[in-house]
Amino acid sequence: MSKEFDVIIIGSGPGGYVCAIRAAQLGLKTALIEKYSTLGGTCLNVGCIPSKAWLDSSEKYYELVHNFKDHGINTKGIELDFPKMKERVKAVVSDTCNGVSFLMKKNKVEVFNGVGSFVDEHTISIKGDKEETIKGNNIVIATGSKPASLPGVEIDKKRVISSTEALTLNELPKSMVVIGGGVIGLEMGSVFMRLGCKVSVVEYADSCIPAMDKDMGKNLQKVLKKEGMEFYMGHGVTTVKALKNSVKVTAKAKKDESEVTIDADYCLVAVGRKPFTDGLGLDKAGLELDERGRVGTDEHMRSKKSHIYAIGDVTKGVMLAHKAEEEGMYVAELIAGQKPHIDYNLVPGVVYTWPEVASVGKTEQELKDAKVDFKVGSFPFKASGRARASNESDGLIKVLADKKTDEILGVHMVGPRCADLIAEAVLAMEFRASAEDVARTCHAHPTYTESFKEACLAATENRALHI
């Protein structure tokens, strides 16, 4: 006889495991299905956590080699131990995944290892070491995404790689071509560039991180270019040829159709991700995918079968771990009879390069397109005492506010610790604060957060103090 649960969650990434914890906290009998031997999904195993560990190690190395001398610290004789760096990243991933396993036990979530697929709309088959079926009153699809590629470009996982393979290379490449100047491409490109690899970025759009505010992309590209990253903006890749020990990438400029050929040790394809639904057997539950391969849902994350939900990368919206977490909590609370809320306009986006880039709310272009009357206030980090003291004065913070009400509509920043600074902007916007509300809030001195206050002052009748 099959075990029965109040909630069955397929996929243990940030959306899935957070949904499981919240459901269990609310007294629901909960099952979590994961096909791999470790929990945490892409984020913990081959995404957010290992990439940030690599970024941190490479940042420390770069600072030591290039910038410590400015602080009066002699760093002659520095050596890079790439295998040791990789070992540390692996340990971070292992500890984090073990932490999720502990949380499942603590919250009495029953974990099943194997591939979960629908038998019917209430029954899930799990094929692992053994085959079994379980039944659920409610089912949550949280199977995440996988790296996407370009038409005609095969990711062979040897010389033409995705971010998954880039995180586990056994050698430090001397050169790398990155196809895609978005978040993943620039983060992974930054890692290898900081460690001494020549990195060339090919991007079809005319600016970096094209989905974010244009000023942020310009500032980030300027800094990365100064540090040695090579850019081919407005170029479309035409061919990628993998050789025995290298790769050859050819791209064509949009403007004049001139061609450029780049030879490198590896080609990292970082053109985004696509929903992963292989093997789910959605048809047996009476479900279909939309034109982009996503599970269709309503505003409450319900599929057309009201007891089957989809969250995270497998459904509509931005592909971000924290967005999936919020949806996981939302669905668990909805099933438990509560009335949860998510404001997708207030889901922040972050690029963990150095300087970091962070954004929340509307961009200037979006406000212009919507014909919203707005004002702009900005403040450069070079005018920040804390940033100068830390030798981290690249970048700025930009605040967009309604011209009539002064309500903050968007905040965009590039600079030191922006991944953390953006939380202050999110919180202010959650409470519908005006620029003057923030401007009149006392900030400790000297701190990076003062720059957000100054940007709000600049948006409030151009009242910035320190510039």
| Positions marked active-site | 445
d(CA 236, CA 253): 6
Other CB atoms within 10 Å distance of the CB of residue 314: 27
Rounded to 5°, angle at Cα 365 from 364 and 369: 120
Instruction: Cis check for the bond before 355: say yes or no (omega within 30 of 0).
Output: yes
Beta-bridged to residue 10, according to DSSP, are: 33, 141
Lay out the sheet containing 230-233: strands in order across: 160-161, 266-269, 175-179, 198-203, 230-233
The sign one gets for the Cα dihedral 335, 340, 346, 350 is negative
Lay out the sheet containing 396-402: strands in order across: 349-351, 356-361, 408-415, 396-402, 374-380
Of 355, 358, 339, the residue nearest 347 (C-alpha)? 358
CA dihedral 360, 365, 371, 373 (to 10 degrees): 60
Of 182, 252, 250, 267, the residue nearest 216 (C-alpha)? 182
